[in-house]
């Protein structure tokens, strides 16, 4: 089992399968021209499977595949097949912008994935273009319906940004009423050098719940364990879906953090808010060190996993860490 210096048990690994993304969301990549990693510096799928096996042996239960955009990496479906073969009891989930998911949901389900998180920050096509630089909202909406028709569990993640999408709360509430999805608002986080985050853009979870509560009757869903994740969810009277908020800034959940992150170039990050990274790739590629060394690095790194929120509180610049979200994986 993996336990950190504060006694927090790690049961969840977020693995970024690529740093490439077909969207250019201003809040995620900070509108920067990014140099993508050279292919040889990205972990191969076989190396990622080896990592997943090591994590599973350490009682990690949940693996979230993220990016960049996971579906933008070639042969991503084949990778899902490899994972299923090698780690059949790992709960594999995907976070995606869903623009490349269309036509693949049945295969994804067949390969053992039951839950998909879809990032969609607006229901307005023009605003989608402004946020992402692409004209692809219709693809995302179609992919959501495709997943729901296959009874996949869909969570829709909306980055909550005042002055950007706060006027769309009624439309998102309607979406959660009409479809069996969890629509979850995530507070905009100050991640990445040149982030456009600022106080004025902050739209807090509390404000969101209060405003939505004026539109529909919300009932908090009781939480049974911390493994259920950081979202606070509400059922909607007469609605098919649920509404949720994730509040990393206004009401952080660092005390119960159970996750580790590995970037596509094989760097272990123990805290989203810290740029401290531990290089796993050399050990994974070394002919004699291999997985034993990887596990050793993980255990050592965990001893100093930060509490998290103290980094936010101490920050002197706009951003809490330099690496942009699209290269960390969210």
Q: Which residues bind ligand SAM (CB under 6 A)?
A: 21, 27-28, 66-67, 69, 95-97, 119, 157, 159, 186, 188-189, 191, 325-326, 329-330
Instruction: Using the minimum distance from each CB to ligand SAM, give the nearer residue, 8 or 184.
Output: 184
Give the span between the Cα atoms of 165 and 148, in whole angstroms.
Answer: 24
162's CB contacts (< 8 A; 6+ apart) are: 200, 201, 202, 203
Nearest-approach distance from CB 155 to ligand SAM, in angstroms: 10
Q: Quick one: 313 exposed, middle or buried, by C-beta within 10 A (0-12, 13-18, 19+)?
A: exposed
Nearest-approach distance from CB 95 to ligand SAM, in angstroms: 4
Q: Mark residue 38 as left, alpha or beta (left: phi above 0; alpha: psi -120 to 50; beta: remaining).
A: beta
- From the centroid of its chain, how far is CA 35? 21
Nearest-approach distance from CB 283 to ligand SAM, in angstroms: 25
Give the span between the Cα atoms of 245 and 91, in whole angstroms.
Answer: 23
Instruction: Using the minimum distance from each CB to ligand SAM, give the nearer residue, 54 or 67.
Output: 67
Instruction: Using the minimum distance from each CB to ligand SAM, give the nearer residue, 294 or 323.
Output: 323
Instruction: Using the minimum distance from each CB to ligand SAM, give the nearer residue, 244 or 330.
Output: 330
Nearest-approach distance from CB 65 to ligand SAM, in angstroms: 9
Cα 201 to Cα 17, 165, 229: the distances in Å are 30, 10, 25
Spatial contact of 37 and 44, defined as CB atoms under 8 Å apart: no
Instruction: Using the minimum distance from each CB to ligand SAM, give the nearer residue, 216 or 254.
Output: 254
Give the span between the Cα atoms of 70 and 84, in whole angstroms.
Answer: 16
* Residue 35 DSSP label: P
Nearest-approach distance from CB 317 to ligand SAM, in angstroms: 15
Tally Cβ neighbours within 10 Å of residue 116: 22
Three-state SS annotation for 100-151: CCCCCHHHHHHCCCCEEEEECCCCCHHHHHHHHCCCCHHHHHHHHHHHHHCC
Nearest-approach distance from CB 71 to ligand SAM, in angstroms: 8
Query: Can you say whether the dihedral through the CA atoms of 270, 298, 118, 46 is positive or negative?
Result: positive
- The residue nearest ligand SAM at its CB is 330
Nearest-approach distance from CB 178 to ligand SAM, in angstroms: 21
Instruction: Using the minimum distance from each CB to ligand SAM, give the nearer residue, 161 or 298.
Output: 161
Tally Cβ neighbours within 10 Å of residue 253: 17
Tally Cβ neighbours within 10 Å of residue 199: 8
Nearest-approach distance from CB 27 to ligand SAM, in angstroms: 5
Instruction: Using the minimum distance from each CB to ligand SAM, give the nearer residue, 67 or 239.
Output: 67
Instruction: Using the minimum distance from each CB to ligand SAM, give the nearer residue, 212 or 324.
Output: 324
Spatial contact of 285 and 44, defined as CB atoms under 8 Å apart: no
Which residue, 11, 13, 21, is CA-closest to 325? 21
Instruction: Using the minimum distance from each CB to ligand SAM, give the nearer residue, 159 or 262.
Output: 159
Nearest-approach distance from CB 120 to ligand SAM, in angstroms: 9
């Amino acid at each position: 089992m993996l336990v950190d210096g504060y006694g927090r048990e790690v049961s969840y690994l977020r693995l970024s399968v690529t740093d490439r993304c077909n969207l250019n969301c201003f809040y995620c990549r900070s509108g920067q021209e990014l140099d993508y990693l050279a292919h040889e510096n990205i972990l191969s799928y076989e190396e990622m499977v080896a990592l997943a096996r090591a994590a599973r042996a350490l009682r990690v239960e949940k693996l979230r595949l993220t990016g960049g955009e996971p579906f933008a990496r070639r042969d991503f479906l084949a990778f899902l097949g490899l994972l299923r073969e090698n780690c059949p009891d790992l709960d594999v989930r995907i976070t995606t912008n869903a623009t490349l998911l269309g036509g693949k949901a049945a295969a994804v389900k067949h390969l053992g994935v039951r839950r998909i998180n879809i990032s969609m920050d607006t229901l307005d096509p023009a605003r989608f273009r402004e946020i992402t630089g692409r004209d692809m909202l219709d693809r995302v909406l179609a992919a959501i319906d495709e997943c729901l028709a296959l009874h996949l569990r869909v969570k829709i993640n909306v980055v909550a940004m005042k002055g950007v999408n706060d006027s769309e709360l009624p439309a998102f509430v309607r979406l959660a009423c009409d479809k069996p999805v969890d629509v979850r608002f995530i507070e905009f986080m100050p991640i990445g050098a040149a982030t456009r985050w600022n106080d004025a853009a902050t739209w807090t979870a509390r404000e969101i719940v209060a405003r939505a509560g004026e539109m529909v009757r919300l009932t908090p869903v009781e939480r049974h364990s911390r493994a259920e994740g950081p979202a606070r969810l509400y059922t909607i009277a007469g609605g098919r879906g649920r509404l949720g908020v994730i509040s990393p800034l206004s009401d952080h959940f660092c005390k119960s953090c159970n996750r580790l992150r590995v970037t596509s170039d094989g760097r272990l990050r123990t805290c989203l808010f810290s740029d401290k990274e531990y290089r796993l790739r050399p050990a994974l590629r070394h002919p004699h060190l291999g997985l034993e060394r990887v596990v050793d690095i993980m255990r050592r790194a965990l001893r100093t996993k930060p509490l998290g929120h103290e980094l936010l509180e101490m920050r002197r610049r706009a951003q809490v860490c330099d690496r942009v979200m699209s290269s960390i994986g969210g």
